[in-house]
């Protein structure tokens, strides 16, 4: 007798989400050195806090510090199975705040609350889901702490177009999460380490009203498939070419699309030598969004506009810098005569992030 075939429904659809529904996501992730090496280095990150354990410990950290980009993609990927398995597009990151530092060996677990659903007026099979997620490390241990909290809006498909979905919206929770900073130790010879970071990205160097075109680009290959899987994000549009070959019209570009977390961390990393190297951390990404898809073979570039600088309310050795981070790529366009690309090419914006960093002052950390 032939077996009874089971094909399970995976992920949630628009109509499945209820107000205040809480997901404690499957899996969790222990940050191994393997994961750390792959991502920190893939992202072109240059902050020596993530490269050089001697430098990190001298600044008051326990060891190599996971870059905020890696914390972000690790935590975010934990939510994909429950929240965006049946998504069409990730619309916006909102109020993404960082807390305790993450070290190699920490275990991150994430939960998400459903804040709102709004069916689309123009497309009967789609709607927007608004969620709030919080990532903690080392639950039950002495150093248990919130490492990150954020909201996001994502466009999700209905399972059944004919079902009526009622809109709802509830307030986000007030999650305590602010950037942990090591003490400033006046007895430490920080200047003796200053050659290890870039010389011209201290707080005093960053000038409001400038836009720094970061000098490096990174061509992304089909390596993205493995990188995305390593985050446990098994969303099929990133790793199942067969599915796309069967329905090419249904999928953007007819190719595997690169998980948005990858240009996210790449842009953060590319900004490093000019903006990130002398940051002790990032406090908040107020808003962020992807503006065009990325595919294997594309080359990612980035730029940063310095919007504002502030004294840090508690720390004389640091300053806060508000920036906007831009990611872009280029494509051929025979008719293009642009200012911002070679002739015959056009620039395509792919990513934008409002990003605040806590940056070291030369006065306290260098000569």
Which residues in 22-81 contact its own copies (CB under 8 A)? 24-30, 32-38, 41-42, 44, 46, 48, 51-55, 64
Backbone φ and ψ of 350, nearest 5°: -120, -20
254 forms part of the interface with its own copies (CB under 8 A) = no
Alpha helices by DSSP H, listed for 123-173, are none
Cβ 44 to its own copies shortest distance, Å: 6
> What is the per-residue binding string for its own copies in 278-307, x denoting contact by CB under 8 A?
-------------------x-x-x---xx-
Cβ 311 to its own copies shortest distance, Å: 22
195, 99, 188: which is closest to 145 by C-alpha? 99
Cβ 40 to its own copies shortest distance, Å: 9
123 forms part of the interface with its own copies (CB under 8 A) = no
Single out the segment in contact with its own copies by CB under 8 A; choices: 1-9, 126-134, 172-180, 278-286.
1-9
Torsion of CA 326, 330, 331, 336, to 10 degrees: 90
Q: Which residue is it, tokens 């872009």?
A: 328
CA distance 333 to 317: 48
The DSSP 8-state label assigned to residue 270 in this structure reads: H
* CB nearer to its own copies: pick between 223 and 316: 223
Residues 171-200 that bind its own copies (CB under 8 A): 195-198, 200
Choice from 187, 210, 313, 367 touching its own copies (CB under 8 A): 210
CA distances to 13, 86, 164, 233, 340 from 124, rounded to whole Å, are: 13, 15, 9, 28, 39
Residues 155/122, Cβ–Cβ less than 8 Å: no
Backbone φ and ψ of 274, nearest 5°: -100, -25
Cβ 26 to its own copies shortest distance, Å: 6
| 147 Cα distance to chain centroid | 13
Cβ 139 to its own copies shortest distance, Å: 6
CA distance 31 to 67: 12
* CB nearer to its own copies: pick between 91 and 296: 296
Residues 86-105 that bind its own copies (CB under 8 A): 104-105
Cβ 118 to its own copies shortest distance, Å: 27
263 forms part of the interface with its own copies (CB under 8 A) = no
Residues 323-362 that bind its own copies (CB under 8 A): 329-330, 342, 345
CA distance 358 to 236: 37
Cβ 262 to its own copies shortest distance, Å: 12
């Amino acid at each position: 007798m032939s077996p009874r075939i089971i094909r399970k429904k995976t992920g949630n659809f628009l109509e499945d989400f209820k107000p205040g529904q809480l997901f404690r996501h499957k899996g969790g992730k222990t940050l191994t050195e393997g994961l750390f090496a792959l991502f920190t280095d893939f992202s072109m990150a240059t902050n020596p806090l993530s490269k050089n354990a001697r430098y990190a410990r001298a600044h008051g950290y326990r060891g190599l510090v996971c870059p905020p980009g890696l914390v972000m993609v690790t935590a975010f990927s934990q939510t994909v199975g429950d929240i965006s398995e049946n998504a069409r597009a990730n619309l916006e990151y909102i109020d993404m705040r960082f807390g305790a530092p993450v070290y190699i060996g920490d275990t991150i677990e994430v939960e998400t609350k459903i804040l709102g659903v709004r069916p689309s007026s123009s497309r009967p099979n789609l709607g927007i889901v608004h969620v709030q997620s919080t990532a903690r490390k080392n639950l039950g241990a002495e150093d248990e702490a919130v490492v990150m909290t954020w909201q996001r809006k994502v466009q999700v498909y209905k399972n059944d177009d004919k079902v009526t979905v009622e809109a709802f919206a509830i307030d986000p929770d007030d999650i305590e999460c602010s950037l942990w900073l090591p003490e400033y130790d006046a007895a430490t010879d920080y200047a003796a380490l200053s050659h290890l970071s870039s010389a011209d990205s201290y707080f005093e160097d960053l000038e409001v009203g400038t836009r720094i075109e970061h000098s490096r680009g990174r061509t992304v290959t089909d390596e993205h498939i493995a990188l995305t899987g390593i985050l446990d994000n098994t969303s099929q549009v990133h790793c199942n070419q067969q599915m796309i070959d069967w329905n090419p019209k249904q999928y953007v570009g007819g190719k595997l699309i690169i998980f948005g977390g990858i240009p996210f961390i790449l842009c953060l990393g590319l900004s490093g030598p000019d903006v990130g190297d002398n940051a002790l951390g990032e406090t908040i990404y107020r808003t962020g969004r992807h503006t065009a898809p990325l595919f294997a073979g594309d080359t990612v570039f980035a730029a940063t506009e310095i919007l504002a600088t502030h004294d840090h309310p508690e720390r004389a050795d640091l300053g806060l810098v508000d920036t906007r981070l831009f990611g872009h790529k280029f494509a051929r366009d025979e008719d293009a005569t642009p200012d911002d690309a070679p002739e015959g090419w056009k620039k395509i914006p792919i990513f934008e992030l409002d990003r605040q960093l806590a940056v070291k002052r030369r006065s306290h950390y260098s000569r």
